[in-house]
Amino acid sequence: MLIELTGCTGSGKSTLLKKIRARFAELGIETTSLAELIFGTYASDIIYKPILSNIILDIIVFPKFVISFRKNFKLLAFSLKVLFKKPDSIIGALNRCRVVIRKIGIDEWIKDKKNSHKIIFVDEGTIHIAHNIFVYSGVPISRDDIEKFSSLIPIPDVIIHVTASKDVILKRNLTRKSFRIRFEPQKKTMYYIERALKSFEYLHSIDKIGTKTLTIDFSSEDNKEIYKAADKAVNFILRKPNN
């Protein structure tokens, strides 16, 4: 079973994923993650070095992308069309194109692992391509484009859509102090957050995706609420027939 956590940057995906996996461990159910499958015992070290981990991922999964190029050509072509329609910058669009290629390659790579692992978690997989191609643009978000996108992407068995209020997301992003946010006006950061929230709202309203999705509001940082959210996700996953 392949489970993807998706949602706006700063919504709390990584924190929730840790709690969900801890809850499964308490139940005696083994889970794994993309990082553990690729990096093995070094996963906990490399995951906090995004530049290094992304370079390694690009090298490992690119052959899978090449092999599946014809199958995923329409998705790639659509992504390029959206990315370069009115991008925030050409360099940014090129980088996000590389991310799309990586995510397609990861999806193809991980298919070979599904039979040998019961539950695999991916933080920001193919569903999250929506964030990569729709958010950083000056073009209004179109339901038609979102529906077209949903018809092209490989869909995981379960989707955990993590969200929060835009003010909470903004605060978390500012706390992170990523390279881009350091030099970006706060107003523009909020603009991107609002676009991300709208993109995911449209995407998860589409039946073929919505039926596989659990949306969790992760605005609260109270431990009790966090554990409740994790339990809700675990129960949702365990009810799925693939499990």
Residues spanned by the domain of 102:
2-238
Say if 78 falls within a structural domain: yes
Nearest to 71 by CA among 129, 153, 130, 159: 153
Q: How many domains does the chain have?
A: 1
Per-residue pLDDT at 208 exceeds 70: yes
What does pTM read for this prediction?
0.91
At residue 46, does pLDDT exceed 90?
no
In a domain, 158, yes or no: yes
Mean pLDDT (the chain) is 90
Question: Does a structural domain hold residue 210?
Answer: yes
Tokens standing for 104? Answer: 């397609």
Q: The domain that contains 136 carries what CATH number?
A: 3.40.50.300
Residue 47 lies in a domain: yes
Confidence band, pLDDT 50/70/90 cuts, at residue 243: very low
Question: Quick check: is 243 in a domain?
Answer: no
- Nearest C-alpha neighbor of 16 from the set 177, 201, 164: 164
Pairwise pLDDT comparison (17 vs 46), residue with the higher score: 17
Please indicate, yes or no, if residue 81 is contained in any of the structural domains: yes
Full DSSP string of 162-176: EE--HHHHHHHHHHH
Q: What pLDDT does residue 179 have?
A: 57
Whether 194 maps to a domain, the answer reads yes
Burial class (CB in 10 A: 0-12, 13-18, 19+), 211: exposed
Q: Within a domain: residue 157?
A: yes
